[in-house]
Amino acid sequence: MDLLELKGPSVRLKGFPHVDVALPENAFVLQGLPLLKGLLAKNSFTIEDFSDGVLKVRRANLSLFLKTWEEIFILHEVFYNLEYDFRFGERIRVVDVGGNTGISSLYFASREDIAEVISYELFEDTAVRFRENLALNPELARKIDLRVVGLGEAAADLELDYCADVKGSVGLGGIAGHAIHGKATIVKRKVRVENAAAEFQSILEANPAMPLVAKIDCEGAEYQIFAALDKRGLLSKIDAFLIEWHEKGPEEIQDRLLAAGHGVWLRSHSGANHGMIYSCCRTTRI
């Protein structure tokens, strides 16, 4: 599907006469075009608008603002690759650690089988973008509890590097080296981190009868989070995990999950520095 036609100093997306992409300032749209093609063709997304460097897309009851190539990539991961398409056959709650701009949290909230989403985002700058997407989706937003803190092994106040162009590659360890290209603007931001075990304990106690699933994609902090959950004995109380590991490999997390009674499935990405871990607890809920 050829989506482009030239129009002076811009390019137009065919079939969308309102979408003229000025170059080079909005090159992220062209960079993400192969991914957008799949989303338009397979996942019933449509482009509603493009203005002031913001692409607005819609599918059924879900609308999203996209401002970077990385956000198009995350949208593709969630809706085209179906990274988080698990089913329990009953109503569940989801903890989304690494909420970013809200794409995954809104995906979860759009599903009838998910009753509540508790989303953690470390940086206030990114949470501003998350709230913009929530405002587009008031019905879904009612199911989402956004908490602007990070999770780790211990509570702390920190100052970290941040880059708006690669929000999904920034965490407690700073900005991932592979994510920085060209003239990236890096700034310092103050953040709050809470003890992961204390947060999960509170969530579990709030509704112990409903299954709880944790999606964790937090750029390296997952190792701290699992150490904290393991120390508190909480891994067997969480019904399933959907985890992206970074840099250190999957073995440490895999071993903790297996010891806690989870069945584990590993899936590698093309790069050697990250991959997916999926697990489901084999023990009976009490």
Quote the pLDDT of residue 270.
56
Tell me, yes or no, whether 60 lies in a domain: yes
Which of these ranges, 61-70, 189-198, 219-228, 262-271, has the smallest mean pLDDT?
262-271
Q: Are residues 201 and 139 in the same domain?
A: yes
**Nearest residue to 63 (alpha-carbon basis) of 73, 52, 74, 49:** 49
- Which is higher by pLDDT, 115 or 40? 115
Residue type present at position 211: P
Mean pLDDT score across all residues of the chain: 90
Tell me, yes or no, whether 179 lies in a domain: no
Tell me, yes or no, whether 92 lies in a domain: yes
Give the three-state DSSP class for 42. helix
Tell me, yes or no, whether 105 lies in a domain: yes
**Nearest residue to 29 (alpha-carbon basis) of 46, 42, 12, 17:** 12
Q: Are residues 23 and 118 in the same domain?
A: no
Quote the pLDDT of residue 29.
87
Per the structure, how many domains does the chain have?
Answer: 2
Extract the tokens encoding 69.
Answer: 């190539």
What are residue 162's DSSP bridge partners?
187
Q: Which of 76, 105, 121 is the last residue of a domain?
A: 76
pLDDT exceeds cutoff 90 at 131: yes
Q: Are residues 69 and 108 in the same domain?
A: no
pLDDT exceeds cutoff 90 at 284: no
Q: Are residues 123 and 22 in the same domain?
A: no
Tell me, yes or no, whether 42 lies in a domain: yes
The model's pTM? 0.92
CA dihedral 81, 86, 89, 92 (to 10 degrees): -120
pLDDT exceeds cutoff 60 at 286: no
Q: Are residues 130 and 241 in the same domain?
A: yes
260: CB partners within 8 A, 6+ apart: 230, 235, 236, 281
Q: Are residues 157 and 92 in the same domain?
A: yes
Asked if residue 19 lies in contact with residue 13, where contact means CB atoms within 8 angstroms, the answer is yes
What average pLDDT does the segment 46-62 reach? 91
* pLDDT tier, 1 (very low <50, low <70, confident <90, very high otherwise): very low
Q: Are residues 261 and 201 in the same domain?
A: yes
Tell me, yes or no, whether 169 lies in a domain: no
Asked if residue 147 lies in contact with residue 167, where contact means CB atoms within 8 angstroms, the answer is no
Q: Which of 57, 76, 95 is the last residue of a domain?
A: 76
pLDDT exceeds cutoff 90 at 171: no
Q: Are residues 65 and 131 in the same domain?
A: no
Q: Which of 76, 98, 130 is the last residue of a domain?
A: 76
In the block, which residue shows the tokens 């909480």? 234
Distance from C-alpha of 101 to C-alpha of 202, rounded to nearest angstrom: 24
pLDDT 10s digits, 19-32: 677 767 778 888 89
pLDDT exceeds cutoff 80 at 61: yes
What average pLDDT does the segment 58-86 reach? 95
Q: Are residues 36 and 96 in the same domain?
A: no
Tell me, yes or no, whether 166 lies in a domain: no
Q: Are residues 32 and 13 in the same domain?
A: yes
Count CA atoms closer than 13 A to 147's CA, side-chain side.
18
| CATH code of 232's domain | 3.40.50.150
* pLDDT tier, 54 (very low <50, low <70, confident <90, very high otherwise): very high
What average pLDDT does the segment 196-217 reach? 97
Residue 125: its H or E element: helix 124-136
Quote the pLDDT of residue 177.
63
Quote the pLDDT of residue 266.
94
What domain range includes position 63? 4-76
Q: Are residues 15 and 105 in the same domain?
A: no
Q: Are residues 154 and 260 in the same domain?
A: yes
* pLDDT tier, 157 (very low <50, low <70, confident <90, very high otherwise): very high
pLDDT exceeds cutoff 90 at 9: no
Tell me, yes or no, whether 180 lies in a domain: no
